[in-house]
Amino acid sequence: MTVSSTRPGRTPRDPAPDAHDAAPAPTSATVPTVPTAATVPTVPTAATAATAATTPGSPRPCAASYHRLGESFPALRVHHAPPRTGNGWLTGADLVARPEALRELIAHDARQALTRYGRPLRPDVAAGFGLHRLTWAVSLLFTLPWFLERRVPLLAPGDVSVRRRTGELTARPGAFLCLSDDPAAGRPGARPATGEPALAAGLRTALAGLLTPVLAAFRPEVRRGPRTLWAMATDAAVEGLWYVGGLLGEEERARTELTALFAPEPAACPEGAPTGPRPSVAPFTPGAGFAPARPDAPAHPGAPTRPATPACPDTALPERARASCCLLYTVLPEAMCGGCPRVTRG
């Protein structure tokens, strides 16, 4: 994870990774080409996803996904356990209820920045870095089980704890959402959804339920309004699963499913299109940001790009447009991200 990610991983100008930062970005040779209909991975059913992700003998919901996260990304480890305190651990309940606990977490990023850049961060920028890194990691507690197992844990701040310096989280899901054909649908705590759209809506609701008090606690420190805070949360949720999906060899499916998860409501239904309400993605910012730039739009010099593909010959396309500004430019003025809204929105 990077502070300023418009593609998975770390670009040369990004800060060095800490316990919640990711490994270097893939090279252009490893970026997948635009998939054809024949190469798009099949979206798993509940039964096949659960079979593929399950750790034998583990009856705990979502534990298999957390295990795979630790295997593919050792810098971030999730313990299926009650919240921990002391020795650097901060509980989610403390972060939302005790300003001194929140400032302890923010101070971690302020100290790192002083070491990396040789200059102090503005207090609001340090808080923004801390919020991004926390939400990047915490969002994976929800999005990765949905992606791998079609399960969504129902977690409140009191069910989670974090230790930034070692890159560890604890999560204690009890109830969870799943599809009706999931082998775990009959377990205590299982709440079957009526289908994929309902499960996706449940994911957004569950994630928003945990993040709402977190963003409210950060707001006085970050000094941004709700719209900007939710844009930051959307960026973190998208970039986290996009990155880990790449580590698992499923970057293109991650892009496709994230695009559908945060798809905005259509302004108008074209003639002949199916009608019916689409659940709103609010409070998240609509759109995952993967739509390519206009072919006639000049690329910003700092924009991370992917190579031309058979579907887009002779065209280098920006990887992703962010919904929020990461504020890295405040400490590294030359490091304006190509996908930053300050660039993409003129």
Work out the percent of the chain whose per-residue pLDDT is above 70.
70
pLDDT value of residue 271: 52
Neighbours of 325 (CB within 10 A): 21
- Omega into 283 within 30° of 0, i.e. cis? yes
Please report the pLDDT score of residue 41 as a whole number.
35
Contact yes or no for 105/130 (Cβ under 8 A): yes
pLDDT tens, residue by residue, 54-96:
343 446 889 999 999 999 999 999 999 999 999 999 999 999 9
3-class DSSP string for 145-165 = HHHHHCEEECCCHHHEEEEHH
Q: Are 23 and 17 in contact (CB under 8 A)?
A: yes
Summarised one tens digit per residue, pLDDT across range 240-283 is 999 999 999 999 999 999 999 999 876 444 455 444 556 789 99
Spatial distance between the Cα atoms of 306 and 292, rounded to a whole number of angstroms: 11
Q: What single string gives the DSSP state of each residue in 187-204? A: STTEEEESSHHHHHHHHH
The pLDDT value recorded for residue 278 is: 61
| More confident site: 87 or 4 | 87
pTM, 2 dp: 0.78
Decide if pLDDT at 10 tops 90.
no
Tokens of 284: 């998240």
Residues 6+ away with beta carbon under 8 Å from 272: none
* Residue 77: strand pairing partners: 168
pLDDT in tens, 127-143: 999 999 999 999 999 99
Give the three-class secondary structure for 339.
coil
CB 19 within 8 A of CB 75: yes
pLDDT confidence band for 342 (50 / 70 / 90): confident
Q: Which amino acid is at 181?
A: D
Mean of pLDDT over the chain:
78
Instruction: Compute the distance between CA of residue 148 and CA of residue 5 in angstroms, rounded to an integer.
Output: 23
Above 60 in pLDDT, residue 326?
yes
Q: Does residue 6 have a pLDDT over 60?
A: no
